[in-house]
């Protein structure tokens, strides 16, 4: 079950962040970037689907849900807030454009290191999902990193906005590297991922003429164990409404 929970945590983080980013659809600063963030949203949703489909297969094979057939839909739409294992960073409000692109950079830079390690996983199905996802994540890192630099080294207002985003989001980044019980035996080394992540983030922030925040400040956590912020309930209420009102509805 620990391995299944690990896969679910990957799916949950991608799903919740895709839901947040989707709020920008039709509201981007310019049409080109509106399309870009929407495409990234679809990439995250596609990755979530791959993880959910694999988790559902394992659940059904192991009989962890007696009397129920797990599907990607049931895992996304029928689980409660406390059952979701996404990191808190992904459920925070989208905020302004600076907050959105900085969060995307933080998360994508983390996924880049994580998926690279998962390429060596003994679980060949998981390694295959990571390989496919990594191609998309490399673009996400490049796109969001360029925006962080553009805002930080831009106008006085853009720099102020990205500085505020950095101050708000930084205390939520540490959870990515705090190992949950279900992550301990899955062949990943969060310490080495963190080391590379910090180097990558420092490089981008320096190019953006921004100061790297102190690493050893209090970091928020709890998402991986099902303890979420007040925002999570609202996300699920909107996202799961149709399925809960009309169970098993078909179009």
Q: Could you read off the pLDDT of 145-194 as tens digits, one per residue?
A: 999 999 999 999 999 999 999 999 999 999 999 999 888 877 789 999 99
Give the residue-averaged pLDDT of 199-222: 94
What's the number of domains the chain is made of? Answer: 1
Give the DSSP letter of residue 178.
S
Cα–Cα distance measured from residue 170 to residue 153, given in angstroms and rounded to the nearest whole number: 19
Give the residue-averaged pLDDT of 191-214: 96
Q: What is the pLDDT of residue 248?
A: 76
Q: What is the pLDDT of residue 222?
A: 96
Question: Which of 15, 185, 187, 206 lies closest to 107 in space, CA to CA?
Answer: 15
> CATH number for the domain including 174?
1.20.1260.10
Q: CA end-to-end span of the chain, whole Å? A: 33
> pLDDT per residue over 95-148, tens digit each?
999 999 999 999 999 999 999 999 999 999 999 999 999 999 999 999 999 999
Q: Is residue 250 part of a domain?
A: no
Q: What is the span of the domain harbouring residue 100?
A: 2-245
Cα–Cα distance measured from residue 46 to residue 43, given in angstroms and rounded to the nearest whole number: 5
Give the residue-averaged pLDDT of 183-208: 93
Q: Is residue 61 part of a domain?
A: yes
Confidence label for 65 from pLDDT (cuts 50, 70 and 90): low
Confidence label for 82 from pLDDT (cuts 50, 70 and 90): very high
Is there a contact between 37 and 24 (Cβ–Cβ < 8 Å)?
A: yes
Return the axis-axis angle of helices 31-62 and 124-152, rounded to nearest 10°.
Answer: 160
| Residue whose tokens read 């999570």 | 232
Q: b vs e for 189-220, b when ≥16 Cβ sit within 10 Å of the residue's Cβ?
A: ebeebbeebeebbeebbeebebeeeeeeeebb
Please name the residues in contact with 45: beta carbons below 8 A apart, sequence gap of 6 or more: 14, 15, 18
Q: Which residue has the higher pLDDT, 27 or 38?
A: 38
Checking if the pLDDT of 246 tops 90, the result is: no
Cα–Cα distance measured from residue 225 to residue 234, given in angstroms and rounded to the nearest whole number: 19
The secondary structure element, H or E, covering residue 46 is helix 31-62
Instruction: Say whether pTM exceeds 0.85.
Output: yes
Look over the chain and give the mean of its residue pLDDT values, rounded to a whole number.
93
Q: Is residue 145 part of a domain?
A: yes
Q: Is residue 44 part of a domain?
A: yes
Two structure tokens written together for 41: 């949203």
SS3 content of the chain, % helix, strand, coil (to 5): 70, 0, 30
Give the residue-averaged pLDDT of 64-86: 88
Q: What is the pLDDT of residue 186?
A: 76
Q: Is residue 225 part of a domain?
A: yes
Measure CA 218 to chain center: 21
């Amino acid at each position: 079950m620990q391995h299944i929970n690990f896969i679910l945590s990957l799916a949950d983080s991608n799903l919740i962040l895709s839901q947040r980013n989707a709020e920008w659809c039709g509201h981007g600063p310019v049409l080109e970037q509106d399309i870009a963030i929407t495409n990234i949203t679809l990439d995250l949703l596609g990755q979530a689907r791959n993880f959910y489909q694999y988790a559902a297969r394992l659940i059904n094979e192991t009989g962890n849900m007696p009397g129920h057939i797990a599907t990607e839909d049931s895992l996304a739409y029928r689980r409660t807030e406390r059952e979701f294992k996404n990191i808190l960073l992904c459920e925070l409000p989208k905020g302004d454009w600076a907050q959105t692109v900085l969060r995307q950079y933080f998360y994508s830079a983390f996924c880049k290191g994580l998926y690279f390690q998962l390429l060596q996983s003994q679980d060949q199905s998981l390694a295959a999902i990571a390989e496919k996802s990594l191609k998309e994540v490399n673009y996400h890192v490049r796109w969001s990193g360029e925006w962080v630099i553009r805002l930080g080294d831009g106008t006085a207002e853009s720099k102020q906005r990205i500085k505020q985003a950095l101050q708000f989001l930084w205390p939520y980044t540490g959870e990515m590297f705090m190992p949950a019980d279900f992550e301990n035996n899955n062949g990943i080394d969060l310490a080495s991922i963190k080391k590379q992540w910090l180097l990558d983030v420092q490089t981008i922030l320096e190019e953006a003429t921004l100061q790297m925040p102190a690493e050893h400040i209090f970091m928020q956590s709890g998402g991986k164990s099902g303890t979420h912020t007040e925002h999570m309930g609202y996300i699920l209420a909107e996202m799961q409404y149709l399925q809960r009102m009309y169970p098993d509805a078909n179009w």
